[in-house]
Structure 1
């Protein structure tokens, strides 16, 4: 539950076309200890102000010239988009109470104000609003955890497959190609076995940073388990367009790693699958890249191989397989 301090520090907006009513409500709120209170007498300002400040509570008069409270709530609904509408309606008309709730207000306060009622309704509504925000934040965090690798913060396999599907759709519309590059770290198991998992985890985090640094903004870099990573490239015209990116990745991963005063080194093997040449759907395209990775590992590691299973010569790992030419 929200603490008392969180409730008193909540953002509150008072909206009324009467200066006396505004002053009275501001005095009530400040005497109760609320610290972040503002007001406006112009209903057309409410939606822009809410977009800017994201209020926890809007005390909204329903009867105002120009835009009335019901019209304001309609605009606020578009901003919240299905979220919790933080409106506490202020009305002197008994018939407006049910209409206000039907329009989206969470509660109402009758005019003239009863001080005890005002305090209780404001406190209760803020408590619910802040609890709703906590739950929404928790839900977002859980969704992030479900879609991202907790160690490196990279997309996981579930999110990767969605990203690949999107890239393939775009490539189809644009009539160009896309690439899936499957990477495995050479020598990672030896580091884990010799120095322990804490060292291995630090290596994985540094590798993730290097892979992201070598990739374009529009590319997706994902960790799909253990010491395996996948990079998705869209908007390429030919398989040769993956040659330079693969060279950069191999060079970046092979640079020394500093972990707790030790200098460690490893390399990477890469398999490349091309859409639509090697596969036209997500799972087969990943499998094609994985098969090419197996060939790169089998033929000596520290190199890149295409899905045609053609590896680069051991002393020329910067050169893609002959199928590129």
Structure 2
């Protein structure tokens, strides 16, 4: 639940065409301890201001010249699509109360103001609004967890397949090609078996950082699970355009890993498939890249391979070297 401090720091906008009413409401709010209160006498400013500041509560007068409160709420509903409309309607007309609720207001305050009623309705609305925001943020965080690898923060296989599909569609529209690079770490099992999973996890996090640093911003770097990663390149003209990026990834992974008092070394093997030369579906492209990865492993590891080409020469000796860090 939101704390009292959270409620008092909520962003509130007072909207009324009467300066006396605005001054009265601002005084009521200040005396109660609310810290972030602003106001406007121009109803046409409400939507632009809400887009900019995302208010937690809008105290909205319904009877205003030019643009009334019902019209303002219609604009606010377009901003808060699927969300919680944080409007507390202010009205002296009893007949407007139900109409205000039907238009999207969450509650109303009758004029002339009853001080106890004002405090209670404002507090209750802010409590619900802030709780709604907490739940929305939690839902977003859960969605992020469902689409990303918790150890490295990279997209997981579920999000990866969606990214590949998008890349293929973009390549098809623009008459380009795309490359799928399937990576597996050489010697990773020996690190896990010898030094434990905590060292293995640190290696995986460092590998993820190196792969991202060695790729273009528009490329997708994902972790499939275990010590398997995938990099998706869009807008390539053919297999030759994937050789340079693949070699760069092989070289990046071969750099030593400094973890606590140890210096660890391992390498990576990469299999490459090209859209649409090798296949036109996500599943088939991944399968072909997986087979090419197997060929790279069989050819000596620490290299990249495509089904239409022989494995590239190794960039460094495949080895695990452990020594005290100096």
Q: TM-score, normalised by structure 2?
A: 0.94
Offset, 1:315: 6.7
- Residues in 2 aligned to 1:226 and 1:113: alpha-carbon distance in whole angstroms: 64
Distance 1:128 1:297, change over 3 A: same
Aligned twin of 1:113: 113
Offset, 1:310: 2.9
- Residues in 2 aligned to 1:309 and 1:267: alpha-carbon distance in whole angstroms: 21
- Residues in 2 aligned to 1:79 and 1:229: alpha-carbon distance in whole angstroms: 39
Alignment partner of 2:279: what SS?
coil
| Contact kept in structure 1, 2:303 and 2:315, CA below 8 Å | no
Aligned twin of 2:240: 240
Offset, 1:168: 0.8
- Residues in 2 aligned to 1:16 and 1:207: alpha-carbon distance in whole angstroms: 58
Aligned twin of 2:193: 193
- Residues in 2 aligned to 1:222 and 1:42: alpha-carbon distance in whole angstroms: 49
- Residues in 2 aligned to 1:272 and 1:214: alpha-carbon distance in whole angstroms: 17
Aligned twin of 1:323: none
Alignment of 1:284 with 2:284, yes or no, is: yes
Aligned twin of 2:320: none
In the TM superposition, what are the counterparts of 1:169-318 in structure 2 within 5 Å? Answer: 169-308=169-308, 310-314=310-314
In the TM superposition, what are the counterparts of 1:120-139 in structure 2 within 5 Å? Answer: 120-139=120-139
Aligned twin of 1:71: 71
| Contact kept in structure 1, 2:250 and 2:315, CA below 8 Å | no
- Residues in 1 aligned to 2:225 and 2:316: alpha-carbon distance in whole angstroms: 28
Post-superposition Cα deviations, 1:265-295, rounded to whole Å, max 9, x if no partner, equal: 1110000011111111011111110110011
Aligned twin of 1:102: 102
Between 302-311 and 91-100, the greater mean CA deviation after superposition: 302-311
- Residues in 2 aligned to 1:34 and 1:313: alpha-carbon distance in whole angstroms: 68
| Contact kept in structure 2, 1:292 and 1:309, CA below 8 Å | no
- Residues in 2 aligned to 1:207 and 1:309: alpha-carbon distance in whole angstroms: 26
Aligned twin of 2:323: none
- Residues in 1 aligned to 2:22 and 2:314: alpha-carbon distance in whole angstroms: 79
Alignment partner of 1:235: what SS?
strand
| Contact kept in structure 2, 1:270 and 1:293, CA below 8 Å | yes
Alignment partner of 1:38: what SS?
strand
Between 141-150 and 172-181, the greater mean CA deviation after superposition: 172-181
Unaligned segments of structure 2, at least 5 residues: 318-326
| Contact kept in structure 2, 1:182 and 1:271, CA below 8 Å | yes
- Residues in 2 aligned to 1:160 and 1:57: alpha-carbon distance in whole angstroms: 39
Aligned twin of 1:320: none
- Residues in 1 aligned to 2:313 and 2:158: alpha-carbon distance in whole angstroms: 35
Between 57-66 and 154-163, the greater mean CA deviation after superposition: 57-66
Alignment partner of 1:182: what SS?
strand
Offset, 1:67: 1.6
Aligned residues: 317
- Residues in 1 aligned to 2:77 and 2:261: alpha-carbon distance in whole angstroms: 56
Post-superposition Cα deviations, 1:16-65, rounded to whole Å, max 9, x if no partner, equal: 11111001111111111111111111112111211111110000001112
| Contact kept in structure 2, 1:295 and 1:309, CA below 8 Å | no
Aligned twin of 2:324: none
